[in-house]
Structure 1
Amino acid sequence: MSDTETTLGEGALGADVLAKANINPETGLATDYLNHFNEVVMLMDMLPDMPDCAEDVLDWAPCDYVEHFQRSTFAAKELAILAYGAAPRALRAHLETIILQIDSEVARAQSMLEGGADSETCATVARMANEDIRPLIGAASGAIHGKMDDADEAEESSAQADIDAMFG
């Protein structure tokens, strides 16, 4: 494979090719990856009304970007993986840091649910989905679109949610 095939904006990774495949041509990243997290957040949201969703939340497992596309039905999954490898290293690292935070928050919610899906736990986990995880998904979306300054905002939002939780 030549360098032009692995350089964003050139060859197989031309801007028009990436855009047509629903991959950001400037970053080489696809928002389809966020579906992995949006699904578990949706399940966490439903817990207060449907506690039996706890099993599905507990079944959720972390999945990195490449693994997600290897398993997905995304039409251009090979292109998404190739473009990810060509994405700016700092941007990939930024996205991966946010993903680790999301994975950690979901694991925290799963630990709570392992003790049982009573109404208080379900409400707490649903609140975590909205106050802690959704802002991180927003920051991940920002990273996919080339914004690296959203991380501080997401961390501040998460820290504020922690403070609010302590003081009820």
Structure 2
Amino acid sequence: MECNDPVLGVGPLAADKLEQANINPKTGLATDYLNHFNEVVMLLEMLPAMPDCAQDVLQWKPLDYQSHFEKSTFTEKQLAILAFQAAPPKLRTHLEARVAQIDKAVLDAQEQLRVTPDPAAIAQLIASLATNEIKPLISLASGVIHGRVEGDTTQLEGDEAQAEIDAMFA
């Protein structure tokens, strides 16, 4: 690590600054990133009632964490990017693995929409995929953002545990 590398809890990445920006001070990660996926899941789930949403679904593109914040209106986007760079590599790796799974599931749904002449014909199947496959993956990604990695027996306590629960139902 170089002397100039950002460190969680120090300087611009002080815990209070991260908390104020809605960035987890222990992980350096922000749940705002999950909005990128929550929006497309909402559209996928709306397909049975509104097949016209298919065009919006097809316009969705995968974005990695940093690209999301670079394009977002998140007030503290530069801080979010800096904190991500300082996040523990294990957490970044696990988050990126969950994101790859989410991206693949959404891209698969998009492909089904592209090859089916009538989106209404598969709308229920795709909505079910969103609810039963993609949402649980988003919950796993939320857990990583809050410091929980599958297979890791470390338990979150107090406010962190509540934040993880809240994020799952956001």
Is TM (by shorter chain) over 0.5?
A: yes
Matches within 5 A, 1:17-96: 17-96=17-96
- Counterpart for residue 128 of structure 1: 129
- Counterpart for residue 119 of structure 1: 120
- Counterpart for residue 155 of structure 1: none
Kindly indicate whether the alpha-carbon contact (under 8 Å) linking 1:44 and 1:125 is maintained by their aligned counterparts in 2. yes
SS of aligned partner of 1:7: coil
Higher helix share: 1
Displacement of 1:3 in angstroms is 4.0
Runs of 4+ in 1 over 2 A off after TM superposition: 2-5, 116-120
Kindly indicate whether the alpha-carbon contact (under 8 Å) linking 1:5 and 1:12 is maintained by their aligned counterparts in 2. no
Kindly indicate whether the alpha-carbon contact (under 8 Å) linking 2:8 and 2:15 is maintained by their aligned counterparts in 1. yes
**1:73-120 residue CA offsets vs partner (Å, 9 max, x unmatched):** 100000000000000001000000000000000011001101234433
Alpha-carbon distance between aligned partners in 1 of 2:58 and 2:19, rounded to the nearest angstrom: 35
- Counterpart for residue 143 of structure 2: 142
Deviates more, 1:109-118 or 1:135-144: 109-118
Alpha-carbon distance between aligned partners in 2 of 1:5 and 1:138, rounded to the nearest angstrom: 30
Alpha-carbon distance between aligned partners in 1 of 2:124 and 2:96, rounded to the nearest angstrom: 28
Kindly indicate whether the alpha-carbon contact (under 8 Å) linking 1:4 and 1:11 is maintained by their aligned counterparts in 2. no
Amino acid of the structure 1 residue aligned with 2:105: E
RMSD: 1.6
Q: Runs of 5+ in structure 1 lacking a partner?
A: 152-168
Give the number of aligned pairs.
Answer: 150
Alpha-carbon distance between aligned partners in 2 of 1:126 and 1:15, rounded to the nearest angstrom: 39
Kindly indicate whether the alpha-carbon contact (under 8 Å) linking 2:47 and 2:127 is maintained by their aligned counterparts in 1. yes
- Counterpart for residue 159 of structure 1: none
